[in-house]
Each structure stands twice: as C-alpha cells, then as structure tokens.
Amino acid sequence: MSELEDISELARRRGFFFPSNQAYGGTAGFYTYGPEGAALKRNVEDVWRDIYVREEDHMEVSAPTIMPEAVFEASGHLEGFDDMIVECADCGAAHRADHLVEDATDIEDAESYGPEEIGELIATHGIDCPSCGASLAGDPVEEFNLMFGTNIGPGSSAPGYLRPETAQGIFVEFPRLKEYARNQLPFGVAQIGRAYRNEISPRRALVRVREFTQAELEHFIDPETDDPPIERVEDVELPLYSTTAQNGDGGVERHAVGDALDAGIIGSEWVAYYLARSMAFYERIGIDMDRFRYRQHLAGERAHYAADCWDAETELGGDWIEVTGFAYRSDYDLSKHGDYSGEDFTIFRQYDEPVTVERATVDPEMSYLGPEFGGAAADVADALERLAGRDRSAFDGDAVTVDVDGDEYTVPVERTGFEITEQTESGEHVTPHVVEPSFGVGRLVYSVLVHARREDTVDGEERTYLELPPTLAPTAVAVFPLMSRDGLDDRAEAIAEDLRRAGLEVSYDESGNIGRRYRRQDEVGTPYCVTVDYDTLEDETVTIRERDSTDQTRVAIEELPEAIRRLLAGETLADIE
C-alpha cells in the first residue's frame, strides 16, 4: 500500500478518523474523528491556542456557524466564492475542473487559470471523465459557488449560509470586540471552529472535505503606526518557495526572516513575523520539517485585496498540500462590512497634538433630493457624504454622480452643499488592516499522522508505530497488568486511576499478551507504557517502557505520576532512574 493508504487503514482500524454515515451508504466529504483522532485533534488545537492566544496575548471568541445572507454579500462570498466545475455530458458526473487538469498535467496551480483556459487545457490534453471515461473536451467549464444555503426561521424570507470560513464571524463583531480591546490597536482575535464548503469533488481523506475545522487569527493593526516585533524572530530560518523560484526552475531556499525581508522576498513584515512564529507550532505538533515549505502565492492566485500571501505546505504521498494560509488582507473586510452595515468599523487614533486640516463636507438639499429621487433620497445623501470624504475632485464639475446599490444618481453640485472647511481635530478614525494566519486543523492532523508513521523490527517482529510528540499523543500513558490474576489487575487499575487523578490521559489494557498490548499502544502513538508485574507486589515498583526505543526502567509507584510528567516534559528514562 502507499503511504496514504497505510494511514487511512490505520485511521479506520484504530479510531483516528473514518468516513461518516456509512450505515446509510456514506456521505462524501464528511469524516468522523474516532476516540484517538478526537483526542489528537484536541491536542493540536491546544498547542495552537498556547501559541496564538496565550503567548501572543490575543483574545478568543466562538461565533455561530450560520450567518445571514447580508454578511456574505458584504464579504463578497456570494459573488466570488467559486470553484470551476465540469459536468460530463455522457454520465452527468460533476468534477472539479482545475483538479482534473492538475492530475493530468504538470500544472500545479490550475486554480489560478480562468474557466475558458481550463476548458482549453481539458481539450488539449484529452482529459476524460474519471467516472465513465468519456471525453470532456467541449463540455463547458463553469463557476460553482461553494456555500451551503439555508433559511433562518420558518419560510424563506431570511436566507442564510453556513459559514465557509470562521473569519467573517470575527469581522462582523469588530464594533463590539474593539471595545473589549479598549479601542486600542493592535489586537488579535482568535477562533477555532467548524466551516463548510460544498466541495465539487471531495478527495484525499481529510484534505478535501465539506465540513472542517479552522483555527484562524485576525490581527487588527494600524498600518501607519503598528510594527511587529521582528527582532524576536529575525534569525528564524524559513524554507521559502518564492514566486521567483516557481516561475523559474528554482526550489525551496532557506532564509532568515531578516534576510528575506531585506531582499524583498517577503513583502510584509507582519506576514514574515507570523511565518516565523508558526515554525515553532509546526515543530511542536510533529510536522516533519524536511517535508514542509512556505510557498508564495503567484499573482493569479492572490486575492485582489491581499498584498502578500504565503501558504504553509506539507508533503503527503508525493503531493504538496496547503495546511495554512498567511495573508495581509489590508482594510478590505472591515471597510466592506462598514459600508454595507452602516456601523462603525473604525478605531479613533488620537493625535499627539491637535491639528488644523481641510475637510470636504456636504449638506445636501433634501428639498431637492426628495422630490427628485423619492425613497432613495437618504441613500443618495449618504453616498454624497462618503464620496466627499473619499474623492473631493468628483465635485469639481457642475454635477456629481453616485452609485447606490448598483443604480447611478446624478446631482447638481450646487444642490449638494459641498464645501471645503478648516477644522481643528484631536485625532482621526482609521480602518484597521488585518493580518490573517488561517490553519486547516484536519489537514494538520492528517499531516501529523502521515509524518509520524514509522516501521521497525522489535524482537524479530515487524512493528508499526507513531512517533508523535509525547504531549500531542492521544494517550500519555497506558497501564497493563502482566497477568489478569493474582491481584495484578486490581493493582494496575488502581495505578491507572491514580494517574488519571494526577491529570494524565491514561489507557488501561489487560487484553492479550503483553507484546500485543505494547504493539497496540505503539500504533496509536502512546509514548509510555507502565507494566504491573509480580515484583510490583513485593517492592511497590513498576516498569516504564518508552515507545520509540522500547527501553525500560523501574520506578517506585509513589514517584510514578511525577516521573511521567517529567518524561512528557522532555526528560529521558535515564533522568528518572
């Protein structure tokens, strides 16, 4: 079997993850995390919180997964959250068109191509339908919106959507969240939660699914005054796969953060800071750093509002898979929600001293706007005010035109009350910019499992084990009685209970011979096993066995909880003997 097939088999058999709803034939793109997987996923999330919430001193929220349609009108998801779909004319099967091109060619970033180009590539390379084998040449490639729609309340008068990302739940609450930050920038808001995308072709286990967990941080900054503490990370070495390397024949190059910024490889200091901070996260959860890189977005991939974007990618089964996106989102999100909602998505920046400035203002004649534009008069007045603040030159002619919900309205300048006045101000309202690291938790869990799997031979038998970091493993320690008799089982159960009361994740197992029990725990990554034998009844000691080396030592029962804690903290068996 291939590497990924081995992990999928292990995941099903040992309870890490498996396809959902199999009693009813299964539902593509949905997975259930079993007992081992749920614990591993929780531990990955705890490491994430430790770094991005506790160490970075950010706040954490939990927003609803269903939001009203207006949120996604403002964010642009209704119009632009699409993937390319091609439907086979023969069998009707739908496929993700850019993925078909990537699978059949050497093109790695087909997502950055347009539907017409993808259609031409399908025809040029003679790509057939994976379901029935019919040619897809000539079948139209179209955009398909990935959001799951629903109705909020009875009927269809309040349409809503399952969120396709957790970020919007943070952005729409900015007017409230800024109060908790005492209206002071910078501040960060983190969230771990479910998101939903109606993927055209779910595949590759946890890589491409329809329901998944994201861990996102939205860091709000003043672009003119807030700089990251680059000095903390300037010497951190990053494996960078830049646009220059991708457009040529280059590969991954390692650069210190400071050098990468000086050379212009990374365009944003804030993005560089989070690339560096995230290295510690990936190492702590057990990502193989020889199978890891940061890939810079090509021009066609970057969102129009993003100044610089990088993806963290892990190598799985010969393919590079995105596990995190790092983007400088400018003020796009907050500006959009401010415009659509009419709420204040700004923060007041106090000047050191009051200043006198020229301001463009309007005082529209409502006695003219009302009869002329009817019910749209108030919206036209608001649009004139926004335009004056944004582009005073628009009022240089005899008339000015504004856009209200796609309709244009032309107003004589003399009716707008436009003028330039001098004002003394103590500060100004600024719309914060956003730096966003966005992590796919399921893909990280999958990467950890793939990268942790090992095979060796112990006592003449082949062994498979997961070399998980001890603090990440679903179970910290397993407790076994050598035999299920003579009081060994009762003593082992009591020891297991004591370890649980000490705050450790403990598994108790008395089924099968001791060798099989070791193998079961090795296969799910349990770092330490404790065996209760006949000597235990005599001298109150137990054997601790270490997973990777299979080395053993004896420890007094009364010292066992502290010994396990020391081992989990990084000490060795030799240290606790």
C-alpha to C-alpha distance for 233 and 187, rounded to whole angstroms: 19
Mean pLDDT of 516-522: 96
Q: What are 389-401's pLDDT values in tens digits?
A: 889 999 999 999 9
If 0-12 CB within 10 Å is exposed, 13-18 middle and 19+ buried, where does residue 333 land? buried
At residue 347, does pLDDT exceed 70?
A: yes
C-alpha to C-alpha distance for 271 and 311, rounded to whole angstroms: 11
Report residue 424's pLDDT band, with 50, 70 and 90 as the boundaries: confident
| Per-residue exposure over 523-554, b if at least 16 CB sit within 10 Å of its own CB, e if not | bbbbbbbbbbbeebeeeebbbbbbbeeeeebe
State the amino acid at position 122 in one-letter form: I
**Dihedral of CA 457/462/468/474: which sign?**
negative
The DSSP bridge pattern shows strands 253-256 and 237-241 to be antiparallel
Domains of the chain (ranges plus CATH)? Answer: 1-81+162-346+432-465 (3.30.930.10), 82-145 (3.30.40.230), 348-430 (no CATH), 475-576 (3.40.50.800)
At residue 111, does pLDDT exceed 90?
A: no
Report residue 94's pLDDT band, with 50, 70 and 90 as the boundaries: very high
Report residue 184's pLDDT band, with 50, 70 and 90 as the boundaries: very high
| Per-residue exposure over 12-34, b if at least 16 CB sit within 10 Å of its own CB, e if not | eebbbbbbbeeeeeeeebebebb
What is the model's pTM? 0.88
Q: How many CA within 13 A on the CB side of residue 434?
A: 25
Q: Which of 385, 380, 387 is nearest to 404 (CA)?
A: 380
Mean pLDDT of 507-520: 94
| All residues at 6 or more sequence positions from 75 whose CB lies less than 8 Å from its CB, including other chains | 168, 171, 333, 336, 337
* In the chain, % of residues over pLDDT 90: 89
Mean pLDDT of 520-537: 97
Q: What is the DSSP code string of 245-267? A: HHHTT---EEEEHHHHHHTTSS-
Q: What are 292-345's pLDDT values in tens digits?
A: 999 999 887 777 667 789 999 999 999 999 999 999 999 999 999 999 999 999
Q: Distance of CA 419 to CAs 297, 368, 416, 422, Å?
A: 44, 18, 9, 10
Q: Where are the alpha helices (DSSP H) in 115-262?
A: 115-124, 167-171, 174-180, 243-247, 257-262
Mean pLDDT of 531-548: 96
Q: Which of 274, 314, 269, 271 is nearest to 291 (CA)?
A: 314
C-alpha to C-alpha distance for 221 and 227, rounded to whole angstroms: 8
Mean pLDDT of 64-74: 97
At residue 380, does pLDDT exceed 90?
A: yes
pLDDT at 304: 64
Q: Which of 555, 552, 527 is nearest to 541 (CA)?
A: 555
What six digits make up the tokens of 475? 């179970």
The DSSP bridge pattern shows strands 528-532 and 477-481 to be parallel
The angle formed by the CA atoms of residues 531, 541 and 518, to the nearest 5 degrees, is: 15
**Dihedral of CA 32/36/38/41: which sign?**
negative
At residue 478, does pLDDT exceed 80?
A: yes
Q: Which of 104-108, 146-150, 217-221, 398-402 has the lowest mean pLDDT?
A: 104-108
Mean of all residue pLDDT scores within the chain: 95
